[in-house]
Each structure stands twice: as C-alpha cells, then as structure tokens.
Amino acid sequence: MTLRWGILGAAKFAREHMGPAIHAAKGAELVALATSDAAKAAPFQAFAPDIWVHESYDALLDDPNVDAVYVPLPNHLHVKWTLKALAAGKHVLCEKPMAMHAADFDALEAAAASADRLCAEAFMIVHHPQFIRARDLVQGGAIGKLTHVDTVFSYNNAGDVTNIRNNADMGGGGLRDIGVYTFGAARFVSEEEPVSVPYAKVRYEHGVDVFAQVAANFPTFSYSAVVSIRMQPRQEITFHGEKGFVRLTCPFNANLHDVAELVLENDGQRVVTERWPAANHYVLQVENFGAAVRGDAAYPCPLSFSRGTQVMMDMVFEAGGPA
C-alpha cells in the first residue's frame, strides 16, 4: 500500500525538507499541495511534476486521492487544521509543536480515535539512528546510572523581523520552535518524565521568548538546558552517567548543522565515535508513519509522547513567569 500525501501550504520547510522527503520515502507518494500562489507551487512541481495543486486547504482535504496530510502551518494553526484533516478522514503528520498547551491534546486524541486515523507530531529526531543508539546505550547501562543531562540549542534570527518565530500571535518563540527538541530528546533517551522545574529564566522580546535557561528534575537525574533564537548557532546534548557519558554533537539538525555523530566515553577513558552521514530522519519519519498506518509497526512518536513534551514546556513557561 502506497500512502498518498498532501501538504497544507507551501512553507519553506516543506519545500526544502519534508516535501522532498515524502517524495523520496519508500511506500509514499506526494500527490497534492494546497496553495493559491503558483510561484510557491513551482519548486514542488520541480521534484514532483505530477503533484496536484489545490487553491485552498479545504479543497485538498476534500480530495479523495489524498490519504495523509502533512501540516507545516504556523504553530497557532496546528490544532485547528489537524482536527479538520482528521474530520475529513485523513491521517495527519503535523509539525512541532503540535499544540500550544498540553490540554489541547485532549481534542486531538479524541478526534484521532473517532476517525480511526494515525495522528502524530513531526518530531523527526526519534527516527534518527543516532538517537535510537543513544537510547539503547543509556538504557543498556553503557554509562552506568544516568546522573545528569545537559543540552543547548541556539541560532540567531534577530534580523529576520518578519519570521513567524518572532511573532507572538503565531505561537513564535525559541521554546516552541527548538526547546521542544531539548525537552523531548531527554525524555526519549531516558524514558523518564520531569517531576519539577525549579528554575527557568526566560527573556522576552515583544512577547516572544528569545532566551531560556532551564533546570529540571527527573525521577533519577537532573537536567539543564539553554535555548535561544538570539545566539550563535550551537547544538549538543550530553547524557552523563556515573561510569561514562554519551554526547551527540549534532543532535537536532543532523547532517545539516553538522554530521550526525555520537561519542561514547567510559570511565577507562575509552572513546568510541559513531557517525551516520547518510541517514535522513525526515525520510525515515515518513517511512515509519506509513508502516504504522499499514499496521506493520508502532509509530515511534505517538501523541502521548508529544503530550509529555508539551507538559514539560508548560512547566517551563510557568516557572519562567509572564512575558
């Protein structure tokens, strides 16, 4: 069974990453795009010449030739259009953050169950072999008892004033854009949930969080993170145990920011480095989604996992105080 995909909107990210990934994935076919701008449709037609272009989102959802919908719209529209797509009988893969608050998942989970369709957040890192390997190492005792996780994710878009990430009304801000990775990565590898966020320093500009320093407690380890959209690009996460550590030097934009790499060092100072220069987590995400729709495997990032990340984000916003 080939899963036929449509995309709601000609977003830059869809044009550069997810559209090509759907086109390249096994068991997937990109058949439709919703945009009223022919100029924005042209880049998609360059790699998928047979794609059908609808002039509205509703028209795409009414297309019987579309089985699944990818939603790359601004954050504040994710829940609305995910619910509309489910009501139209489509499977849905929605960009992160899927919702603005954890309570929003109540409606998403109910709608997915009612429609009997797969609905998931496009949290691509859990599909990458470096994160699967990191989880296996940590869970397998390679670093002894996990004691602390520290992570940083930053870039600087201060000069891009029209970017939706700098627009509070569209759900912009660093935590929702990239903090979701720093939180979800720790949860995925450790298989634990935070119990408290005793400290969060959040700096805002025009209602948008542009810097956050976070300290959290998990059941068996401590956690710290720096997230910013006003700093030089940097990304890294380290899982530090009593007998070693695992460090991912390019965990969130694998093979774009840098090569996907994992470094394992144990208490004997033995260092093992593993790299995945060819793995594309966007393609793997689409293939795993199709496998789950066909019933061949469970989806690695169910709504329950995404709800957990949003719970942690809500805790951080509460600890950090109002804008």
Query: Which residues are the active-site residues?
Result: 96
Q: What is the distance, to the nearest Å, from the Cα of residue 283 to the centroid of all Cα atoms in its chain?
A: 14
Instruction: Check residue 94 and give left, alpha or beta (phi > 0: left; psi -120 to 50: alpha).
Output: beta
SS (H, E, C) 63-83: CCCCCEEEECCCHHHHHHHHH
> Phi and psi at residue 244, in whole multiples of 5°?
165, -175
Q: Give dist(CA 129, CA 288) in Å, integer.
A: 13
Q: Is 265 exposed, middle or buried (0-12, 13-18, 19+ CB in 10 A)?
A: middle
Residue whose C-alpha is closest to residue 307's, from 156, 119, 150: 119
Q: Which residues pair with 271 in a beta bridge?
A: 265
Alpha helix stretches (DSSP H) within the chain = 12-13, 19-24, 38-47, 57-61, 78-87, 105-115, 129-139, 174, 180-190, 281-293, 303-320
Return the CA Rg of the chain. 20
Residue whose C-alpha is closest to residue 33's, from 65, 1, 74, 2: 65
Residue type at 86? Answer: L
Q: Give dist(CA 94, CA 78) in Å, integer.
A: 7
The residue length of the chain stands at: 323
Residue whose C-alpha is closest to residue 74's, from 94, 103, 56: 94
Residue whose C-alpha is closest to residue 65's, from 101, 105, 40, 29: 29
